[in-house]
Structure 1
Amino acid sequence: MLRINIISTLILTSLLMSCGNNEKKTDQSTVKAAEGESATRSSNPNVQHILFFGTSLTAGYGLDPKDAYPALIQKKIDSASLSYKIINAGLSGETSAGGKSRIDWLLKQPVDIFVLELGANDGLRGLSIPETQANLQSIIDKVKAKYPAVKLVMLGMQMPPNMGAKYTGDFKAVFSSLADKNKMVYVPFLLEGVGGVAKLNQEDGIHPTAEGQKILAENVWVKLKEQL
């Protein structure tokens, strides 16, 4: 059983790293396009901006960008005739350290609500939990320093049990701890109702299908809509 768990973990890690290597250029192009689009929107002072900062889960890996959960949330916002525009800054393979390096560039555009979805790649690679927590706190600090009035949303993540009880427990606690410390709106588990459900995930078993992304959108929307 131990051998099977180790093999499963290695497979998950290699799949995740492969996704990052294959999709990073594509996702960066998407982020650049989003930044340019946001600059145009900022000319309208009545429009507020929501920055989704995360991994392939946010980028909508393997799907049409319109099927990623941030785009689905944009549809909900538009249907409610609210003056908010979403910038999807998801990047496949992104770690908390990578996000810490990338955030300054993204903060050149206006941000009124910041949604943080990072840490999953750290966990699947078994990286140091204190280091992950420090990187995420640094990202939050940078956002607050640039935009003191920003509203903050934390999307929690969890690891599969084969990572070990202590690691999975400590990892899960990082997100609630940071949310409490920084007075962030907290979504306990982004993948609630999707993680581990085969029919809602692509063949790699990691990335949600279009139907799975709809559930992610609902998981976030139930908390986010209270801030709009």
Structure 2
Amino acid sequence: MRPAATRYGRLPSRIQLSPRIWAAMLLVFASLGSFLMNSATHAQTKPLKLVALGDSLTAGYNLPGSAAFPTVLEKLLRDKGISVEVANAGVSGDTSQGGLERLDWSVPDGTDGVILELGANDALRGVDPALTETSLDAIVTRLKARGIPVLLAGMYAPRSNGPDYVARFDAIYRKLAEKHGLILYPFFLDGIAGDRVLNQPDMLHPTAEGVRVIAQRILPTVERFLASLRPRS
């Protein structure tokens, strides 16, 4: 066979480009590099969007907004270098059924995860635990259908409700966590329940310091939850 140079004609030793083409290519490469750098930076800094869906314990009953659980938790996470936004979707007096009824507008599209804290008012009102479980199960099911993971914050019934009620109610959260494969924080009021210093005079709602204790105690569980999330595009 003849050498390539004779078969195809003489091959140039290097490609000659005009200055105008070189300038255009350099501009394209520079723009592409800037785009990739900006995209990487955006991906690193785009905060995870959480919604705290709950009752007065989430809303911050009788407290300034800066002392409410979602705000305090967000600050603790940001202080640890975790880029996150925690929206306050707490409504004082809400039951699990009330949370279900307002679920779609309380948790907007684009939410990366939900901290579900409902059931305290059900127990205080003596709602049948089976109904509470049904409502919470429906909330989790609908969120999962939307691709939104849930961290389940549990609650214990007042012991004055009697041993049968307490046993049935307290078991709700563990059962739902097992059924749906959820991360569970067993008792939202852990560390402050019954403490007169950390609760308001009604002994039902935490003081600002009580909220800080709640947020600090749940923080490791929230971090584990966040580590399992993928930011939405």
TM-score, L = length of structure 1: 0.77
Whole-Å Cα distance in 1 between the matches of residues 207 and 47 of structure 2? 30
Higher relative contact order (CA 8 A, sep 6+): 1
Look up the equivalent residue of 2:173 and give its one-letter code. Answer: F
Cα shift at 1:219: 2.3
1:53 shift after superposition: 0.2
Match of 1:151?
149
Give me the whole-angstrom Cα distance separating, in 2, the residues matched to 1:122 and 1:93. Answer: 9
| Equivalent pair of 1:104/1:142 in contact (CA under 8 Å) | no
Conserved? CA contact 1:72–1:214, under 8 Å: yes
Larger radius of gyration: 2
Share of identical aligned residues, percent?
37
Q: Deviation at 1:198?
A: 1.2
- 1:77 corresponding residue in structure 2: 77
Residue 152 of structure 1: CA displacement?
A: 1.6
**Aligned equivalent of 2:127:** 127
Matches within 5 A, 1:174-185: 174-185=172-183
How far off its partner does 1:123 sit? 0.7
- Structure 1 distance, partners of 2:129, 2:219, is 28
1:215 is displaced (CA, Å) by 1.1
Cα shift readout 1:190-212 (whole Å, capped 9, x = no counterpart):
11111111111101110000111
1:95-174 pair list within 5 angstroms? 95-146=95-146, 148=147, 150-174=148-172
Q: Which runs of 4+ in 1 moved over 4 A?
A: none
Q: In structure 2, what is the equivalent of residue 87 of structure 1?
A: 87
Question: Could you say what the CA RMSD is over the residues aligned between the two structures, in angstroms?
Answer: 1.3
Aligned to 1:226: 224
8 A Cα contact 1:187 1:219, kept in partner: no
Aligned counterparts, 1:58-73, within 5 A: 58-73=58-73
- SS at structure 1 position matched to 2:53: strand
Counterpart of 1:54 in structure 2 is: 54
Q: Quote how far apart the aligned CAs of 1:153 are.
A: 0.5
Aligned-partner SS, 1:167: helix
Residues of 1 paired with 2:99 and 2:117: CA distance? Answer: 10
State the partner residue of 2:199.
201
Structure having the larger proportion of residues in helix:
1
For the Cα contact (< 8 Å) 1:55–1:94, is it kept in 2?
yes
